[in-house]
Structure 1
Amino acid sequence: MPKKGYRKRLKFRADVVCSESVTVADYANADPAIVKSGRLKKAIANAFEKEVKLLCGLEASQGPVQEVLSSAADEAKDVNDSSEELDSEEGDWESRGSRKKKNKRRKENGEGADGEEYPIDIWHVLAAYIRPEDICRFALICKNAWTVTCTAAFWKRLYRRHYSLDVDLPFRFQPDSLSKMRFLRARVIRSLFHLYEPFSLRVSKSPPLPDSTPSTLLNSKCLLFWVNKVSGTRAEPMWEFNFKFKKQPTKVKNGCAHSLLLPMQYKDVNFNPDSDCYLLRVTTLNFIFTSVVMGMTLSLFTINVSTDMRHHRVRLEFQDSPLFQGKRLRGEPGVQVVLDPVHSVRLMDWWHPQFPMLPHS
């Protein structure tokens, strides 16, 4: 006989309780609060769970029931999320449209410009208090400030502010040279390296040998080359090998360079044929025969220790054609210039006091 209290349990089948048995459509007429929240109320969920347990006889097993409840809640939540996404997208499009309308109104009313444009006379007054090392920063403020730095009055006033009778200036930098408008800007800048102490100290403190090999001259064209004999403290004379280079113009995308055009009346004032030129001066202890490299492009420049470990060695390599993307063409022979032993190496910009000036400048 069966034991007392024994009850026959129904065998559980997974296909009886599944997500297909209960769908969101069954709750279409339910309370809207249930659908909006995406979750069933606890009282309704407990009643539904109890009913399922009674039908299936699964008081101890709660896993399938939880799956049914979670699937129904997830489906309701997905519906709510999709509706919220649609609402948010519609709101974004409306906000974008309103922004475009506001920007269009601002452009029509002239309210889109930020700040105010001051007359050029104010910038002329402010330019009288600018230090020579701050001219570039001042010119970058706005177009009117840049235009002031292009005028002849600006450079003449800058020269008079720093001119001193105690300084021995070359004849080309004397006050009488200010009457010539051509090369005026270049002459004033070069004279400041004699008159203005911060600039003159910068030149005097430059070391005889650079800390690292400068890469400024790569892909530059050699315009001139000459050798000078120098008599110094040594019993034997030294030799200066001078190479004048000009930087190749950089290519700009779409063939246009985004730069301001100089005013026509001030082109002579700002004209400078040596603006992109450098002078490489290598002083050696002995005279060295070298090849002719004028008109060739510099592709390699190194400064190493000499074989005697007491001096330095300079190696220059030139090509007939410019470098393509910083690389030499294959199979093109180059001309090497090796200077050893080297006493000093100096790289000078066009404004350096020792940079050779053109006769007409």
Structure 2
Amino acid sequence: MPKKGNRKRLKFRAGDVCSESVTVADYADADPAVVKSGRVKKAVANAVEQEVKLLCGLEASQGAGEEVTADALDSSDDLHPEDDRENDIKVAHKKKNKRRKESSESSDGGEYPVDIWLMLASYIRPEDVCRFALICRNAWTVTCTAAFWTRLYRRHYKTDADLPFRLQPDCIDRMCSLRARVIRSLFHLYEPFTLRVSKIPALPESTPTTVLNSKCLLFWVRKVLGTRPEALWEFNFKFLKQRHSKNGCAKSLCMPRQYEDVHTNPDSDCYMLQVTTLNFIFTPVVMGMTLSLFTINVSTDMRHHRVRLVFQDTPLQRGNKRGDQGGTQVVLDPVHSVKLMDWWHPQYPSSPYV
């Protein structure tokens, strides 16, 4: 038996392999037992590459005729597919990081002035304002200006539109809360937005979970006239949404100081829960408290609904559930209708300043 040190070095040159010696067995029909990695041997691949270059009229590469030892062939065949995939992933990550570094260092591209973006904004649809603002910082700056929102309002304003007094052209000229007033007016003037409101159900299925852990900012009761001979009673709860971010605070771009008045909105992140009952029901004061439970069931007369709200003095911790034990309870029965409206809804009773 020959010693390991006496193993002969096998010489393999590109000229030793021709197109007739390369068979299908070297590729698709290769036996996995023979070629463990499932790939063509390096020697055969180099030979085929060299022959293709010769056929194309290209000069042979200098390393095409390098000697390949038997030990090197064995080691290349013993590689596992998992190891090959890991190496490919590492190489791909290195190339990707290199491309990122080159792109960050390159100074290609130009920056257009704000006037150009303001001109383009005149052709933006109301539903595409967010996409337009995400193009670049100058485009976002344009959406903060009073000129942008004023032009958007005038473009869709109609003289025969039935608008509330606070959304009339005379009130739109004010800088304070201009953005909020224009958005509210679009839900009266812009047909795609009005259709969107008409498709919203009076009581969405997500209503009970949406208002949970929200703080009640304002609560009032008023008497309204309905289709019935008797008057209806409307219970209005103004809630503040509880925002949760990954780092505990919301991150946003710093608003330019000269446009802060334009974006002022006292009703931002607020919604209104409106419960209409058939008669007056005494309710305790719940302003400043947090809603911990909200259920809608069938009334005792089996013809209406029954709304039950439980308020707590302290907000719930994220991920924790609190039972209906304790707290201040509000029961409204029988209920004629329940509505949940965002601040931009046409029927939302907005603040007198907006």
Q: Same fold (TM over 0.5)?
A: yes
CA–CA distance in structure 1, aligned partners of residues 194 and 262 of structure 2: 24
In structure 1, the partner of 2:9 is 32
Give me the CA root mean square deviation. 3.4
The yes-or-no answer on 1:154 pairing with 2:148 is yes
In structure 2, the partner of 1:236 is 230
1:319 to 289, 299, 312: 312
Shift of 1:94: 9.7
1:283 to 268, 276, 280: 276
CA–CA distance in structure 1, aligned partners of residues 228 and 349 of structure 2: 25
CA–CA distance in structure 2, aligned partners of residues 330 and 91 of structure 1: 54
The yes-or-no answer on 1:187 pairing with 2:188 is no
Deviations 1:156-196 (A, max 9, x none): 00010011111132222121223311111011111112222
| Identity rate, percent | 65
Preserved CA contact (<8 Å) 1:306 1:341 = yes
Shift of 1:357: 2.2
Preserved CA contact (<8 Å) 1:217 1:245 = yes
1:139 to 110, 128, 133: 133
In structure 2, the partner of 1:67 is none
Q: Which residue identity is paired with 1:290? A: T
1:178 to 172, 179, 183: 172
In structure 1, the partner of 2:217 is 223
Structure 1: gaps of 5 or more residues: 1-21, 35-75
In structure 2, the partner of 1:209 is 203
Residues 234-243 or 306-315, more deviating: 306-315
TM-score by length of 1: 0.70
CA–CA distance in structure 2, aligned partners of residues 92 and 207 of structure 1: 50
Per the alignment, do residues 237 and 117 of structure 1 end up closer, same or farther by CA in structure 2, a change over 3 Å counting?
A: same
Preserved CA contact (<8 Å) 2:310 2:324 = no
Superposed counterparts of 1:1-361, under 5 Å: 26-33=3-10, 80-81=74-75, 107-108=104-105, 110=106, 116-253=110-247, 256-328=249-321, 333-361=326-354
Q: Which residue identity is paired with 1:282? A: V
Partner secondary structure for residue 203 of structure 1:
helix
TM-score by length of 2: 0.72
Residues 225-234 or 191-200, more deviating: 191-200
CA–CA distance in structure 1, aligned partners of residues 191 and 87 of structure 2: 66
CA–CA distance in structure 2, aligned partners of residues 234 and 278 of structure 1: 28
Deviations 1:235-281 (A, max 9, x none): 1211111000011342542x553311111110100111111111000
Residues 120-129 or 277-286, more deviating: 120-129
Per the alignment, do residues 331 and 340 of structure 1 end up closer, same or farther by CA in structure 2, a change over 3 Å counting?
A: closer
CA–CA distance in structure 2, aligned partners of residues 310 and 90 of structure 1: 69
Preserved CA contact (<8 Å) 1:229 1:238 = yes
CA–CA distance in structure 2, aligned partners of residues 280 and 330 of structure 1: 22
Per the alignment, do residues 105 and 157 of structure 1 end up closer, same or farther by CA in structure 2, a change over 3 Å counting?
A: closer
Preserved CA contact (<8 Å) 1:296 1:321 = yes
Preserved CA contact (<8 Å) 1:213 1:303 = no
Deviations 1:32-76 (A, max 9, x none): 229xxxxxxxxxxxxxxxxxxxxxxxxxxxxxxxxxxxxxxxxx8
Deviations 1:9-30 (A, max 9, x none): xxxxxxxxxxxxx5xx714223
Count of aligned pairs: 292
Q: Which residue identity is paired with 1:156? A: T
Q: Which residue identity is paired with 2:172? A: L
Preserved CA contact (<8 Å) 2:202 2:340 = no
CA–CA distance in structure 2, aligned partners of residues 200 and 279 of structure 1: 19
CA–CA distance in structure 1, aligned partners of residues 158 and 325 of structure 2: 54
Partner secondary structure for residue 282 of structure 1:
strand
Residues 224-233 or 172-181, more deviating: 172-181
Shift of 1:82: 7.9
Q: Which residue identity is paired with 2:261? A: D
Q: Which residue identity is paired with 2:197? A: V
CA–CA distance in structure 2, aligned partners of residues 206 and 101 of structure 1: 49
CA–CA distance in structure 2, aligned partners of residues 344 and 272 of structure 1: 28
Per the alignment, do residues 178 and 333 of structure 1 end up closer, same or farther by CA in structure 2, a change over 3 Å counting?
A: same
Per the alignment, do residues 217 and 116 of structure 1 end up closer, same or farther by CA in structure 2, a change over 3 Å counting?
A: farther
Q: Which residue identity is paired with 2:196? A: R
CA–CA distance in structure 2, aligned partners of residues 297 and 328 of structure 1: 13
CA–CA distance in structure 2, aligned partners of residues 291 and 145 of structure 1: 49
CA–CA distance in structure 1, aligned partners of residues 199 and 87 of structure 2: 67
